[in-house]
Amino acid sequence: MTEEYKDTTEAAIASTRIITDSCVRSQTVKRLIYTASVIDFFLAYIKSKTLAEKEVLSYNEIQHGKLEVVSLACALVGGDILLSYLPATCTLSAIISQLTSNLPYYNALRFLQEFLGSIPLLHIDDVCEAHIFCMEKQSLRGRFICENYPQLRISPE
């Protein structure tokens, strides 16, 4: 974090604004697709992501909507990874936490299940297809939830 921003939320909003303003100034970018998440395990990050998403979607109303902004809010994403190892911060680590006894991720999944009733899952291929769909539409703007079934249900301890 630089001294320019007081917290992660302020930095996320500012960087979102910089990217979106650059798209508008270019006069060549027709649509910006913002990939968001409906699931996160850290409250501070949830706040910054939510406010950054709200900021980017506000550009649909600015300058008569010269820039179409689409937000794809994705469920917990899993699928193939290109790395030869599983990063600790990878959502796949959370998905398999019950098998690997990763208690912090397992507890986070239990919280999500209690809060949402189940844990929405999405394969990375579906995320790619959703982006292609958004790019190929003649005109599109707004927020869309990207989720697939079945949903994960974890067993009690």
Looking at residue 43, what is its pLDDT? Answer: 62
Q: Where are the domains of the chain?
A: 8-75+120-156
Catalytic residue set: 49
Looking at residue 93, what is its pLDDT? Answer: 80
Looking at residue 42, what is its pLDDT? Answer: 63
Nearest-10 crossing angle of helices 8-26, 43-57: 20
Q: Among 33-37, 91-95, 101-105, 140-144, which is the least confidently predicted range?
A: 91-95
**What span, in angstroms and rounded, lies between the C-alpha atoms of 41 and 89?**
11
- Evaluate the omega torsion of the peptide bond into residue 150 and state whether it is cis, within 30 degrees of 0: yes
Q: What is the pLDDT of residues 82-104, one digit of tens each?
A: 777 766 667 778 888 888 888 88
Q: Which CATH superfamily is domain 8-75+120-156 in?
A: NAD(P)-binding Rossmann-like Domain (3.40.50.720)
Q: What percent of the chain has pLDDT over 90?
A: 36
Is residue 71 within 8 Å of 143, Cβ to Cβ? yes
